[in-house]
Amino acid sequence: MDGAIRAFIAFLRAERRASPETLRGYTADLRQFHGFLLSHRLATIPVDPGVLSREAVRAYLQWLDRDGIRRSSLARKLASLRSFYRFLVRDGLVECDPTQDIRTPKQPKLLPRVLTKEEAAAVMTTSPDARPQSARDCALLETLYSTGARVSEVAALDLGDVRCSEGIVRLRGKGRKERLVPIGEVALRAIAEYLKQQPILLRTAGLSTGLRSPLFRNHRGGRLTTRSVARIVARHSSGLTGGPVSPHTLRHSFATHLLDEGADLRSIQEMLGHASLSTTQKYTHVTMDHLLAVYDKAHPRADPPARDPERKNSKVR
């Protein structure tokens, strides 16, 4: 099993050009499955992936479910196993796939949490001070909200990816696919102010700048990690009524606010880097809920109780 996992991760890195976050996720999921098999004595030692049964995979999923893991995480871990076994079957390392007839757990239909424009503005309003980190945080938040980029895409930004004169930024998405996305003037001004102060940080760390050097750096001068970006967003959004948000909430808010202002769905799809338009269409549901709420509150002949009960009771995360 150890050798099979290493071969699969090497395949993802070399042929699929998977991101470091994707590689870490697959490795953690497969190591957890391996550890479960050993601790519950459901396989020989060492574990041979070619002789595992569907019952062993089902037992693993049941164990995760009893442990209280979310359905979305359960589905992701099963997807990791499926990808792993598809690779092993394709390369002739195993003959049968024990995940083949196992259904993905049904997912609850949850609408993404979306900030109001006032809440988004409050998150963007950072407390200015003389520290380079303060200007960096402001530029980081503005870039996330202005481009709708994924957290991994913003963390991977280099200085040369921001084209200030053209008002665009180059993002590297899933599968290392690149796309050009507009970036607003407010975000560009925040980045320019941050870059003015960045030499202070770089001199402290003994580093130099270049077009291929990281745009957003930590206090040691290295590239910010996705976890660090998430912590910064959570810290600056901790005062919101609904509690702190994630970088992905800013991405959801970016798309929904564009749609509210009349942007077409296809353009939003291109900016978000979605391969399928159906992925982007979830934002129309968020906007429709907002429109219905406004209508029910403002129209003299609105009849809120007559609304679809499933929509009324829909959860927002």
Catalytic residue among 217, 251, 252, 257: 251
Distance CA 30, CA 39 (A): 14
* Active site (annotated) includes residue 82: no
Query: Are the CB atoms for 230 and 246 separated by under 8 Å?
Result: yes
Catalytic residue among 113, 248, 285, 307: 248
Angle at 169 between CA 165 and CA 173, to 5 degrees: 165
In a 3-state reduction of DSSP, which class is residue 158?
A: strand
Task: Write down the residue that tokens 């003015």 correspond to.
Answer: 196
Tokens of 100: 């083949």
What are the residues facing 217 on neighbouring strands? 223
Joined tokens for residue 13: 């890195």
Long-range Cβ contact pairs of 193-199 (< 8 A, separation 24 or more): 193/135, 193/138, 193/139, 194/132, 194/135, 194/136, 194/138, 194/139, 195/159, 196/135, 197/132, 197/135, 197/136, 198/132, 198/136
302, two tokens: 């609105």
| 122 CB-near residues (< 8 Å, 6+ apart) | 239, 240
Helices 20-39 & 54-66, crossing angle to 10 degrees? 100
Task: Look up 17 and say whether it is catalytic.
Answer: no
In angstroms, rounded to a whole number, what is the distance separating the alpha carbons of residues 174 and 114?
23
**Active-site pick, 150, 236, 252, 257:** 150
Has 283 been annotated as catalytic? yes
Number of other CB atoms surrounding residue 95 within 10 Å: 9
Task: Determine which one of 13, 274, 285, 307 is catalytic.
Answer: 274
The question of whether 251 is a catalytic residue gets the answer yes
Residue linked to tokens 């990281």: 214
Choose the catalytic residue: 174, 282, 290, 307: 174
Read off φ and ψ for residue 182, nearest 5 degrees: -65, 150
Strand blocks (E) in 142-286: 162-163, 168-172, 178-182
Catalytic residues: 150, 174, 248, 251, 274, 283
